[in-house]
Structure formats: C-alpha cells, structure tokens
Amino acid sequence: MKTQLTTTTKAPRRSTKDEARDAFIHHIGSARELVAMLARHLDDHLGVAPDEMNWANAGDAAHLVELLKQAARGCNLIAEE
C-alpha cells in the first residue's frame, strides 16, 4: 500500500509594510469622507438659518475653526500660534 503525501500550502504572510499601507489607505479614505461631510455642513452654514444665528452659533463656528487648525497643525500645514 502506497502512502500519498499531502502538502499544505499556506498563503504567503502579508508583510507588516503591506498591512501598514492598507491601514494608511483606509484612514485616508475615512478622512476624505469626514472632510466631505464637513464641507457639506459648512455649505449649509452648520445647519443654522441666517435669521436664526446667534452668539452661540458664532461660538460653535469658532470652536470648529480651532479644531480644524489643530488638524492642519498636526499635518504641518500651518505653524503653531
């Protein structure tokens, strides 16, 4: 009786570099989606009608500007203030 040898082939292990690249591409896509949502929200004046704007809305807009500046600084797009 002959014994048949079976070999199993494993899928090649993905390199850490490949995994990092895929994660980077995923995060860039997520960032693009967030930027697009923010752009639409800004185009809609943060959802506030012109005749309903008040100082609280101005504060919300100022806070948003600070958050966006923080993100831009994190990308080295603008200098620290």
Average pLDDT on 37-66 reads 97
Structure token digits, residue 7: 């070999």
- pLDDT tens column, 23-50: 999 999 999 999 999 999 999 999 999 9
Q: What is the per-residue pLDDT across 2-17, written as a single tens digit (0 to 9) for each?
A: 666 666 677 778 799 9
Model pLDDT, residue 12? 74
Domain boundaries along the sequence of the chain: 56-81
Q: Quick one: pLDDT at residue 80?
A: 85
Is pLDDT at 69 greater than 80 in this prediction? yes
How far apart are the C-alpha atoms of 13 and 10, rounded to whole Å? 8
* Rounded CA separation 75/12 (Å): 35
Q: Which residue has the tokens 């704007």?
A: 53
Q: The tokens of 49 are what?
A: 């009608």
